[in-house]
């Protein structure tokens, strides 16, 4: 049994990961960790996540109190918390799966450095279906991308901190690579003002509204027609399932920075 620690158990992803871990026949939940004075320390994870039964495992508000009890830690929190968690996992020699997004290039380097000591997996999107979606975008870009106006429209709940989302940036990077261009040079965010659209760019629109989980749309526009590819996440369960599969994959691995494609793509 792989002993799993869920960091941020009261968030949308945290609750979904508890559900998925509880159902996994080879995984044992050993605890959850929230921020200091989180208000739910000591409460059973089954109650926090709404599983429908007590799981016999409670949340804590100090990572140091429980990190040595796990085989793998998983987290989808925020940039600042994630970097602090990474440091603690390195100090305790515990593998970490992070689904947090919004890191700068310099901050991502810290994960590569941590990979010299522990197994680390950093993923912007952990849904299997999303990775099939990425493959379709890659293929279409190679076939017709250079002749198209390309737009990426993404929507998440009003509390999501980063815009564009990590997934939409990943999509843009796939397209830029297919066009043999530098992503940072062709990405444009939130069109405003007057003027004809310049050729060869990726236009981004980021929507943050209500409680909508996730939606990504790529539009390839031509003079007389357009092609759209859309993926909608109805809830957080597909991403949580991928996080749990990533934790299973990381267990027992040698130190290194691994990718979600290594964990789930072979099984698509």
Least Cα distance to 15 among 2, 34, 36, 1 occurs for 34
Contact 150, 202 (CB under 8 A): yes
Q: Beta-carbon neighbour count of residue 241 at 10 Å?
A: 21
Q: Which residue has the tokens 């062709």?
A: 186
Q: Beta-carbon neighbour count of residue 174 at 10 Å?
A: 18
Catalytic site residue from 24, 156, 216, 241:
156
Alpha-carbon distances of 257 from 71, 96, 165, 217, 253, rounded to whole Å: 17, 10, 21, 29, 10
Q: Round to whole Å and give the CA distance between 243 and 78.
A: 16
Catalytic site residue from 22, 60, 160, 241:
160
Tell me how far the alpha carbon of residue 259 is from its chain's centroid: 11
Q: Is 160 a catalytic residue?
A: yes
Pairing status of strand 119-122 against strand 96-98: parallel
Q: Is 19 a catalytic residue?
A: no
- Give me the active site residues, please: 156, 160
């Amino acid at each position: 049994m792989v002993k799993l620690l869920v960091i941020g158990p009261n968030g949308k992803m945290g609750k979904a990961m508890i559900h998925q871990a509880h159902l996994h026949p080879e995984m044992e939940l050993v605890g959850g960790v929230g921020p200091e004075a989180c208000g739910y320390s000591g409460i059973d994870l089954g109650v926090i996540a709404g599983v429908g039964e007590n799981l016999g495992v409670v949340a804590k508000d100090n990572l140091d109190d429980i990190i040595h009890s796990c085989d793998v830690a998983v987290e989808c929190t925020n940039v600042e918390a994630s970097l602090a968690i990474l440091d603690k996992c390195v100090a305790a020699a515990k593998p970490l799966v992070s689904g947090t997004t919004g890191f700068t290039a310099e901050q991502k380097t810290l994960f590569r450095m941590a990979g010299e000591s522990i197994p680390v997996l950093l993923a912007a999107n952990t849904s299997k279906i999303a990775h099939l979606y990425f493959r379709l975008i890659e293929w279409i870009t190679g076939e017709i991308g250079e002749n198209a106006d390309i737009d990426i429209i993404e929507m998440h709940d009003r509390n999501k901190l980063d815009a564009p989302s990590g997934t939409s940036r990943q999509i843009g990077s796939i397209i830029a690579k297919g066009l043999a261009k530098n992503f940072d040079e062709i990405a444009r965010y939130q069109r405003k003002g007057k003027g004809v659209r310049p050729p060869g760019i990726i236009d981004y629109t980021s929507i943050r509204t209500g409680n909508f989980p996730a939606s990504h749309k790529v539009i390839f526009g031509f003079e007389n027609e357009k092609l759209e590819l859309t993926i909608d996440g109805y809830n957080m369960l597909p991403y949580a399932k991928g996080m749990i599969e990533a934790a299973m994959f990381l267990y027992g691995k040698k130190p290194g920075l691994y990718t979600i494609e290594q964990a789930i793509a072979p099984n698509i």
